[in-house]
Structure 1
């Protein structure tokens, strides 16, 4: 069964519908690549997926360890190269007040993030710079 159904809306814009939830996402080409930049670009979604996947997998570990990740935030920076045009680096900066959480659990969270499915699926030529500020 398909995961999503998509359509081209014209003017370098696409619409995707997640079939299980009905959630829709629109993409737009970025301004530096002939688009309007009015929505996530496809490569923005790749970068966003890395951060979200990392936190999701950390959340699974945190629940198992009895730790609450509420309040964790992150910023993602996507760096493109010109020839050929592709993502060259994704930087994820995590911020979280870990309080008095044991260092062994902190290390488990970091390891979980670095081995999330998206991190493992990205081309090894895409540099993943991950900063854990906790």
Structure 2
């Protein structure tokens, strides 16, 4: 059974619906690639998926350790190359103003992030640069 139902809306825009929840995502080609840049591009979603997956897996570890991740935030920078046009690097910078003091738990969270399913699924030619500012 499909997970996502998608359609082309024209003008380099797509619409995807997550079948189980009904949530929708629209993509648009970026301005530098003939699009309007009015929504996430498909490559933006790849970069966003990496950060989101990392935090989801960190959240699973945090639940197991009775730790709350409130205050954790992250920024993602996607670096594109040309010829061929593709993602060359995804930079994820985590920030946490009040992390737990237990270094062992912090290391578990970092390891969880670095081994999330999206990180392990991306082509090795895509450099993943991750900083943990906590």
| TM-score interval, smaller chain | over 0.9
Give the match's secondary structure for 2:21: coil
**Whole-Å separation in 1 of the counterparts to 2:131 and 2:23:** 30
In structure 1, runs of 5+ residues without a counterpart are none
1:101 Cα offset (Å): 2.7
Q: 2:20 corresponds to which residue? A: 20
Q: Classify the secondary structure of the residue corresponding to 1:79.
A: strand
Are the counterparts in 1 of residues 88 and 127 from structure 2 also a CA contact under 8 Å?
Answer: yes
Partner of 1:30: 30
Cα distance between partner residues in 2 of 1:48 and 1:101? 28
How far did 1:71 drift? 1.1
Aligned length: 134
CA contact (8 A) 2:93 2:132 kept: yes
5+ unaligned residues in a row in structure 2: which ranges? none
What is the RMSD computed on CA atoms of the aligned residues?
A: 0.8
Matches within 5 A, 1:39-50: 39-50=39-50
TM-score, normalization by structure 1 = 0.98
> Quick one: distance in 1 between partners of 2:72 and 2:25?
24
Q: Which residue of 1 aligns with 2:95?
A: 95
TM-score for both structures, normalised by structure 2: 0.98
Partner in structure 1 of residue 115 of structure 2: 115
Counterpart for residue 73 of structure 1: 73
**Secondary structure of residue in 1 paired with 2:16:** strand
